[in-house]
Amino acid sequence: MKAPPRLQSLIEEGLIDTVVRQLMSGKEAMVYVVRCGDETRCAKIYKEATQRSFRQAVDYTENRKVKNSRQARAMAKGTKFGRQAQEAAWQSAEVDALYRLAAAGVRVPTPYNFHDGVLLMELVTDEHGDAAPRLNDVLLTREQALAHHAMLIRQVVRMLCAGVVHGDLSEFNILLGHQDGVDGPVIIDLPQAIDAAGNNHAARMLLRDVDNLRHFFGRVAPELLASDYGLEIWDLYQRGALHVDTPLTGRFERRTAPVDMGSVLREIDDARAEDAARRVRMAAG
């Protein structure tokens, strides 16, 4: 097929040879199957912010690192340069997360290059070499649901041990592929990935990710609906007791200690003050 304009620079740089076909068009990007020498890979072209349905919510971008203080100030003010810097940071977040998670042994597509707003990475395939299906498009038996859920919980743990929370994990961004000789879930779509230690919303997002898995697989394996892996995992992480091979029970005993209302109110006041300051900065820009 004719190469889209956004892929032309990769062809000119010799990073890809030909464009085979469009694989998918999602809320944040378009993905194409491409040939690179003897290998078949995929190229993810990020959509412009105005074309995406997924917004760069403050919850996701909190404490993300930028190159310099000038960029940080521009992003806070919402200037044109700041919006460009924010867009670049949004795209590079997935690249950084993929490299970090692949190095940690998480089942994600292997990243190869990031050039001119295009991410070149592994094409996840099934055992026959065809593009792997999304989890949402596959009919599962109870045994398969239990096995895939167990594997994904271990992947969530491995991600957290690497300091990353997916932030938008669901059946729509998990592929069932054949990777490194093993059939099973492969996690994709990480531009909203957050730093577990540096983002105040990390716990809530991890619990939501795990709950999404519980509810999806619980349709076929109802016994999973009674599990509580999210709270168990986060509690172990907070106590420094979480490792990639830490045994999990799926149960968590909630503590009933009295709530420190003064501390809660102070946190609310601090959040309001921070929001007010941010609005002033945006108005000034």
Query: What does R_g of the chain's alpha carbons equal in angstroms?
Result: 21
Please give the positions annotated as active site. Answer: 168, 189
How many residues does the structure list for the chain?
285
* Tokens coding 77: 């003010």
Q: Which domains does the chain have, with CATH numbers?
A: 59-106+129-284 (1.10.510.10)
Picking from 99, 120, 94, 91, the residue whose alpha carbon sits closest to that of residue 33 is: 120
pLDDT at 67: 52
Q: What is the pTM of this model?
A: 0.79
How confident is the model over 45-64, as a mean pLDDT?
A: 57
pLDDT-wise least confident of 4-18, 81-95, 99-113, 173-187: 81-95
* pLDDT greater at residue 65 or residue 275: 275
Average pLDDT of the chain is 85
Residue 85 gets the label, from left (phi > 0), alpha (psi -120 to 50) or beta, of alpha
d(CA 22, CA 5): 13
d(CA 231, CA 255): 11
The per-residue b/e assignment along 212-248, b for 16 or more CB within 10 angstroms, e otherwise, is: bbbebbbebbeebeebbbbbbbbbbbeeeebeeeeeb
* pLDDT greater at residue 281 or residue 33: 33
How confident is the model over 111-126, as a mean pLDDT?
A: 94
pLDDT-wise least confident of 69-78, 94-103, 133-142, 212-221: 69-78
pLDDT digit string, tens, across residues 6-50: 999 999 999 999 999 999 887 788 999 999 999 999 999 988 765
Picking from 4, 53, 50, 6, the residue whose alpha carbon sits closest to that of residue 27 is: 53
The per-residue b/e assignment along 60-96, b for 16 or more CB within 10 angstroms, e otherwise, is: bbeebebeeeebbbbbbeeeeebeebbbebbbbbbbb
pLDDT at 191: 87
pLDDT digit string, tens, across residues 141-185: 999 999 999 999 999 999 999 999 999 999 999 999 999 899 999
Instruction: Report phi then psi at 131, rounded to 5.
Output: -55, 130
How confident is the model over 224-229, as a mean pLDDT?
A: 97
pLDDT at 169: 97
Q: How confident is the model at residue 211 (pLDDT cuts 50, 70, 90)?
A: very high
Strand partners, 85: none
pLDDT at 39: 95
Please state, in angstroms and as integers, the Cα–Cα distance from residue 244 to each residue in 48, 55, 159, 169, 248, following that order.
Answer: 36, 32, 9, 19, 11
